[in-house]
Amino acid sequence: MSQALVIRGGTVVNADREQRADVLCVDGRIVAVGEDAAAQAPAGAQVLDASGQYVLPGGIDPHTHMQLPFMGTVTMDDFFTGTAAALAGGTTSIIDFVIPDPQEPLMDAYRKWRGWAEKSAADYSFHVAITWWSEQVRADMGTLVQEEGVNSFKHFMAYKNAIMCDDETLVNSFKRALELGAMPTVHAENGELVYLLQQEVAKMGITGPEGHPLSRPPMVEAEAANRAIAIADVLGVPIYVVHVSCMESADAIARARARGQRVYGEVLAGHLLVDDSVYRDPDFAKAAAYVMSPPFRPKGHQEALWRGLQSGQLHTTATDHCTFCAAQKAMGKENFAKIPNGTGGVEERMAALWDGGVNTGRLTPSEFVAITSANCAKLFNIYPRKGFIGEGADADLVLWDPQGTKTFSAKTQFSKGDFNIFEGRTVRGIPSHTISQGRVVFANGDLRAEQGKGRYIKRPAFGANFQAVQKRAQDLAPTAVAR
Ligand code: URP
Ligand code: ZN
Ligand code: ZN
Ligand code: ZN
């Protein structure tokens, strides 16, 4: 028995245009989009009325950490609760991270994370972090790309004495990623400077969460972003900078792009909407709840990030969803450097960005689709299967009610965290229905996420970026002088 769903009367939005159209989904795929799509539906098809609503590609969050063991504890949301919360917010796919311990074989870590993720309710994929270097790591990168559909590798330039990469590892790994047609990505913060500043700040008698941003100022991020971009330039490999939080880092990306380099930037919903005043809250639990890296920035940086998205210098939006509860955050009660780093947002990202982006005229609905799904799908080479509403694409969709409102709160969220960084913010423009693999999984507040329904999504290597950089390298290849 095939399963059919018709979405009638909505405005379908893709990254390139909006159109009034019906959408027919059969067995998890979109089979028709157009004025006559409903007429092709088999008898007994489920019908959703989307009049007055937009129909958007399901969001893709390219940066989450479900069930992450980190800084001596494990995040509250696992792959089920985290992806269920994502579906409630209109996000139908996540790209999470496999993070091997230094010296841990990549394939062991990868298999461990694949096991944890089997309970996902939404589709998922993995970036794999390179936290150390050896010939075995080089070989395993090949296996991951060629057999497991991993086409991106993450490098933490911070978290000294834990998962931080030195330049030797960055250079070796970027070079190997280029050979394999996989995108290197970086968490750009100079870990040596963070380590030093944490101690200097503590010496000043500042031990609370207000010390966190003091130990990680914008220039610490900009130095690492510039360094990673320079290494990528020398090697001729594209590069993707995760969670760009400040204007200095956004400027580094814009300058490199103006030089013709293939550099891409990701922005978090939190960095666009929250500023660093939160760290001065007199209540430790509240201030600590916002401790994440890079930290929230002084007023002014948020507008620069919006401009980066508007101008096309920044490309994707994510959340870095990584939730710790108050008891976990209290591990750093005497020392801010021990507060587990991370905040939530996977459930709020789409609505927070619509409200801050589309309602303010910063973004059109099509530009919203670009930054919440299509650009990510293109960069990580799963477009047009994901991030697109058209024949053949996965039936991952959101019915978006532009007049619906919601007030974010930890009390009403599906995410397992006990805090909401957008607490009390009322937004206009919310998902009324989320459809994953052709199934309605969220309807007007009713979450019907099913454990284990999510699929692992393989991402092929050598996306369009790599064909371009290869051509460029051939054209510009130096030659010896014939004597
Ligand atoms: O504070 C954060 N962002 N925690 C998660 C790990 C990371 O750096 O992305
Ligand atoms: Zn990070
Ligand atoms: Zn992260
Ligand atoms: Zn707890």
| ipTM of the modeled complex | 0.95
How much distance in Å is there from the Cα of 74 to the middle of ligand 4? 10
Instruction: Indicate whether 437 belongs to any domain.
Output: no
* DSSP per position, 93-133: EEEEEE-PPTTS-HHHHHHHHHHHGGG-SSEEEEEEE--S-
Rounded CA gap, 172 and 259, in Å? 24
Identify the H or E element spanning 307: helix 301-311
Contact 365, 389 (CB under 8 A): no
Taking the CA of residue 293 as reference, the ligand 1 atom at the shortest distance is 1
Structure confidence at residue 1 (pLDDT): 65
Instruction: Indicate whether 448 belongs to any domain.
Output: no
Tell me the CATH number at 336.
3.20.20.140
Rounded CA gap, 403 and 400, in Å? 9
Identify the H or E element spanning 202: helix 191-203
Atom 3 in ligand 1: residue holding the nearest Cα: 293
Range of the domain at 255: 57-387+457-465
Q: pTM here? A: 0.98
Instruction: Indicate whether 420 belongs to any domain.
Output: no
How much distance in Å is there from the Cα of 340 to the middle of ligand 1? 9
If one counts every other C-beta atom within 10 angstroms of the C-beta of residue 422, the result is 25
Condensed to tens digits (0 to 9), the pLDDT of residues 262-283 reads 999 999 999 999 999 999 999 9
Burial of 295 (0-12, 13-18, 19+ CB in 10 A): buried
In sequence order, the 6+-apart residues with CB closer than 8 A to the CB of 11 are: 18, 19, 20, 21, 53, 54, 55
Contact 386, 394 (CB under 8 A): yes
Q: Which residue has the tokens 């696992």?
A: 78
Answer positive or negative: Cα dihedral of 299, 300, 306, 308: negative
- Comparing CA positions, the residue from 381, 398, 401, 365 lying closest to residue 16 is 365
Instruction: Indicate whether 18 belongs to any domain.
Output: no
Instruction: Indicate whether 450 belongs to any domain.
Output: no
How much distance in Å is there from the Cα of 271 to the middle of ligand 1? 13
Q: Which of the listed residues 64, 65, 75 should we mutate to test ligand 1's pocket, taking the one with most ligand atoms within 8 A of CB?
A: 65
- Comparing CA positions, the residue from 200, 44, 67, 81 lying closest to residue 454 is 81
Upper half-sphere CA count for residue 165 (Cβ side, 13 Å): 30
Task: Give the number of domains in the chain.
Answer: 1
Rounded CA gap, 50 and 53, in Å? 5
Side by side, the strands of the sheet bearing 59-64 are: 59-64, 91-98, 123-129, 152-156, 183-187, 239-241, 263-268, 316-318
Q: Which of the listed residues 71, 319, 322 should we mutate to test ligand 1's pocket, taking the one with most ligand atoms within 8 A of CB?
A: 322
Instruction: Indicate whether 417 belongs to any domain.
Output: no
How much distance in Å is there from the Cα of 302 to the middle of ligand 1? 19
- Comparing CA positions, the residue from 302, 379, 321 lying closest to residue 89 is 321
Atom 8 in ligand 1: residue holding the nearest Cα: 293
Rounded CA gap, 203 and 352, in Å? 38
Taking the CA of residue 158 as reference, the ligand 1 atom at the shortest distance is 8
- Comparing CA positions, the residue from 444, 452, 458 lying closest to residue 90 is 444
Residue 42: is the preceding peptide bond cis (ω within 30°)? no
Which residues have CB under 6 Å of ligand 1? 65, 187, 292-293, 320, 322, 341-342
How much distance in Å is there from the Cα of 364 to the middle of ligand 1? 30
Taking the CA of residue 97 as reference, the ligand 1 atom at the shortest distance is 9
- Comparing CA positions, the residue from 122, 23, 55 lying closest to residue 451 is 122
In the chain, which stretches have pLDDT less than 70?
1
Taking the CA of residue 292 as reference, the ligand 1 atom at the shortest distance is 1
Structure confidence at residue 463 (pLDDT): 95
The protein residues having their C-beta less than 5 angstroms from ligand 2 (an ion) are 187
How much distance in Å is there from the Cα of 332 to the middle of ligand 4? 14
* Extended beta strands in 104-228, E state: 123-129, 152-156, 183-187
If one counts every other C-beta atom within 10 angstroms of the C-beta of residue 91, the result is 31
Atom 7 in ligand 1: residue holding the nearest Cα: 293
How much distance in Å is there from the Cα of 341 to the middle of ligand 1? 6
Instruction: Indicate whether 109 belongs to any domain.
Output: yes
Residue 209: is the preceding peptide bond cis (ω within 30°)? no
Atom 9 in ligand 1: residue holding the nearest Cα: 320
Rounded CA gap, 222 and 248, in Å? 6
**Both structure tokens of 331:** 């591990």
In sequence order, the 6+-apart residues with CB closer than 8 A to the CB of 199 are: none
Condensed to tens digits (0 to 9), the pLDDT of residues 418-427 reads 999 999 999 9
Rounded CA gap, 264 and 241, in Å? 6
Instruction: Indicate whether 277 belongs to any domain.
Output: yes
Condensed to tens digits (0 to 9), the pLDDT of residues 368-390 reads 999 999 999 999 999 999 999 99
